[in-house]
Amino acid sequence: MQPSRPVNLFLACTPLQVLNAAEARDRFHADDDNFLVVFHSPRSAKKQTRLAELADDAIDSRWTRTWNLKLTRLSQLLFPFTASRLRQQIGLCQCLYTGGFQTQQRHLLHSIPHQQLIVFDGGAGVLQTAVNSWRTQGTRQRRLKQLIPGQNTSLPDLSKARFFTSYALDMPAESIIPNDYRIFRTQVSGKLPVRDEVVFFSQPLHRDLGLNIDIDATIAAVLQHHKASRCRWILHPRETEGPADAEKLPFLAEFFGLREGYLPIAFATWMSSVARSLPAIYGRPVTCFDIRPLLPNTTNADYLRELDATYADFSNAGAVILPQPHTGLPQTHTPRDPAAHAA
């Protein structure tokens, strides 16, 4: 009788997390049994469908099994039973990977027995939550309110966790597993042609931070800096408005070169995680516009520190940080939860 293969479980709730899960799977666990759980958070029907389509597009056929869990009110109430069934089917994990710490993910981190916990990139805000917990050796005093009976929603002890990340984290080297997307890069066959344009990946800054950005001035600054003839404006999946020629990609941003068949002379954004992933995958430069001077004085201090760390990391990785053009447009409302929307 042949011994059973090692088992690994990956928890994801965004298309980027699915991609990073696959990168870790193929790099470290190619001969193991690898299970993927994708959480689809409750959102408006249109946004939920959009994110689900992007996540599905990023899921390949090399998973041993995949569960797509749509988190309705009923399914959240019954989640302890779902977690129990998953535990019975999966058993002991060699490695348990997570890209986030939503309520149901936290419950599974406590419920599924595992030998090693590994956190992979799911956006700068998610990563910062994990890093802060690691720095306190996992002993967070504040716990989430127990809204759903039978669920352990506390942040798990991350003192012994490792981090599979493309970011330069301020922690000992033994806690870091650098993610340079070496597996994904092998899919980029040959040298892609380069077009005279900059691709700008937008973010919902008005919705999340109350910022009114002068898009025309931003595009002009992009073109001037890169001496390009065109700026292709890509809306974030949660955005609904933009320039007249703005578009949404039908695939994850990291698939840009593979699906479009070309590369721009540069990528640009404000503070999106594509500032880390796209240069690593395609070797093209990236420009980030600094929004910090536009934030109101009432902005949460912890969030400002996270932004400082994010921009510093982008700069250290080679990104050019430019001041965001400011034309005096009024900033309209207080951020709802800015740290949750850093990706």
Out of 189-198, 262-271, 313-322, least confident range:
189-198
Where b means 16+ CB within 10 Å and e means fewer, 11-27 reads: bbbbbbbbbbbbbbbbb
Query: Do 112 and 91 contact (CB within 8 A), yes or no?
Result: no
The pLDDT of residue 138 is above 50: no
> What is the structure's pLDDT at 335?
44
Q: What percent of the chain has pLDDT over 70?
A: 81
- Domains of the chain and CATH, by start: 7-184 (3.40.50), 194-337 (3.40.50)
Q: What are the angstrom distances between the C-alpha of 161 and each of 74, 95, 295?
A: 32, 10, 33
For residues 24 and 164, give the distance between their C-alpha atoms in angstroms, rounded to a whole number.
Answer: 8
CA distances from 177 to 26, 157, 180, 290 (A): 14, 19, 10, 28
Query: For strand 286-290 and strand 263-269, is the pairing parallel, antiparallel, or unpaired?
Result: parallel
**Side-chain half-sphere exposure of 262, counting CA atoms within 13 A:** 11
What is the residue type of 253?
A
Q: Which pLDDT tens digit goes with each residue over 298-328?
A: 988 988 988 998 999 999 999 999 999 976 5
Query: Between the ranges 98-112, 148-162, 277-291, where is the mean pLDDT highest?
Result: 277-291
Most confident range (mean pLDDT) of 152-161, 175-184, 329-338 is 175-184
Averaged over 96-122, what is the pLDDT? 90
State the amino acid at position 332 in one-letter form: T
Full-prediction pTM beyond 0.85? no
List of E strands, 130-246: 162-165, 176-178, 194-201, 231-234
Count of CA atoms in the C-beta half-sphere (13 A) of 69: 24
| pLDDT tens column, 25-53 | 999 999 999 999 998 876 545 555 666 67
238 CB-near residues (< 8 Å, 6+ apart): 47, 204, 207
321 neighbors 285 (Cβ within 8 angstroms): no
Q: If you average pLDDT over every residue of the chain, what do you get?
A: 84
Q: Which of 71-75, 80-84, 218-222, 282-286 shows the lowest mean pLDDT across its residues?
A: 71-75
Q: How far apart are CA 16 and CA 22, in angstroms?
A: 10
